Amino acid sequence: MMEVVPENAPEHCPGTQSEDAGKASACAGCPNQTICASGQIKEPDPDIAKIAECLSHVKHKILVFSGKGGVGKSTVTANLGFSLSSNPEQEVGILDIDICGPSMPRIMGVMNEQVHSSGYGWSPIYVEDNLSIMSPGFLLSSPKDAVIWRGAKKNGLIKQFLRDVDWGELDYLLIDTPPGTSDEHLSIVNFLSKAGIDGAVIVTTPQEVALLDVRKEINFCKKLNLPIIGIIENMSKLVCPKCQHTSIIFPPTAKGVAGMAREMQVPYLGDIPLDPLVGKCGDNGKSLPHTFPTSPSAIAYKNITEKVQKFCLNNVAPTSEDTIN
């Protein structure tokens, strides 16, 4: 299916879904001009309905966003996953769509696994009986392999992950994304438009240079009518393991994360300290909530997970057919 702005499009392509598609002056000479002008590609992408069908047994879908890189999206996704699956009655899946930097296999301790196919599709990798994961990391044959793909190719893989993975019945599907507001983010929201997304959790660190990007991410969600479950403030403070002295490593200026959340009228889900145990677990593929359950970070994750669950249970995931305020 043609992407909204195909890779071979000219610089001022109006977009394949535009009224001017194929007719604008910029379209002259474009290889897609005839097909755009014919109106064929404004028809809905049949894969979107297929994806909705494949994910019909997934009760809640949550996107994990951040404008900023390195704030801990993947770590937060993993620990939310571990927290949710600590209830043995709950089935949890994690989809990693950070194609260039797929961290999830390492963080979840399943780095050297390979994906197998069955008649039902690709089988996700099971971390625990009730916690499974799919990541582009499983498709790379060596840790040195780089995925040097432009946007359109990345979108193709994301679609495959949504359409062709045999998730089975899930209570929660958490989707870890790369930083930014680009192809992957537009595509995941588009591809799930019929399946429905409960909402997005946005991760940040306290400093203003991170908040700059988070505000953009909030506005991105608002533009796409994507509900925001809330903001998580990661790496809020460091407690010295030796003397218990608290230090603020990433100093907030102005109102801080909670103030920004209030100003932008989005929920503040809580803060997670900058804890060497978190990094240690991530590097060794261990579950923080299981390995260090009484640590301040694990308690913070438990509290945040409860709020996320409450949001999902109280709100119906909107789809493209709903009118959203």
Site residues (vs another protein, CB under 8 A): 3-7, 9, 11, 13, 67-71, 74, 100-101, 103, 106-107, 143-152, 154, 178-183, 185-186, 205, 207-209, 212-213, 215-217, 219-220, 223, 238, 240-243, 245, 247-251, 253, 274, 276, 279-280, 282-283
Considering the complex, what minimum distance in angstroms separates the CB of residue 196 from another protein? 21
Judged by CB, which is closer to another protein: 37, or 224? 224
Q: 151-164 and 183-191 are packed helices; what angle lies between their axes, rounded to 10 degrees? A: 30
> Residues of 102-114 as b/e, b for ≥16 C-beta within 10 angstroms?
bbbbbbbebeebe
- Rounded to whole angstroms, the Cα distance separating 172 from 161 reads 16
Nearest in space to 76 (alpha carbons), one of 209, 316, 273: 273
| Choice between 2 and 59, CB closer to another protein | 2
> Which whole-number Å values give the CA distances from 116 to 102, 110, 113, 170, in the listed order?
18, 14, 10, 19
Nearer to another protein, 91 or 213 (CB): 213
C-beta of 114 vs 144, nearer to another protein: 144
Minimum Å distance from CB 320 to another protein?
17
Please state the closest distance from residue 68 (CB atom) to another protein, in A.
6
Q: How far is the CB of 230 from another protein (least distance, A)?
A: 18
Pick 60 or 154: Cβ nearer another protein: 154
β pairing state of 125-128 and 131-134: antiparallel
Minimum distance from residue 56 beta carbon to another protein (Å): 28
| Tokens representing residue 1 in the block | 């299916």
User: Which residue lies nearer to another protein by CB, 62 or 221?
Assistant: 221
Considering beta carbons, is residue 50 or 216 the nearer one to another protein? 216
Strand partners, 172: 60, 92
CB of 129 to another protein, least distance (A): 25
Token output for 79: 């620990």
CB of 119 to another protein, least distance (A): 33
Q: Which is nearer to another protein, 124 or 178 (CB)?
A: 178
CB of 26 vs another protein, minimal distance in Å = 11
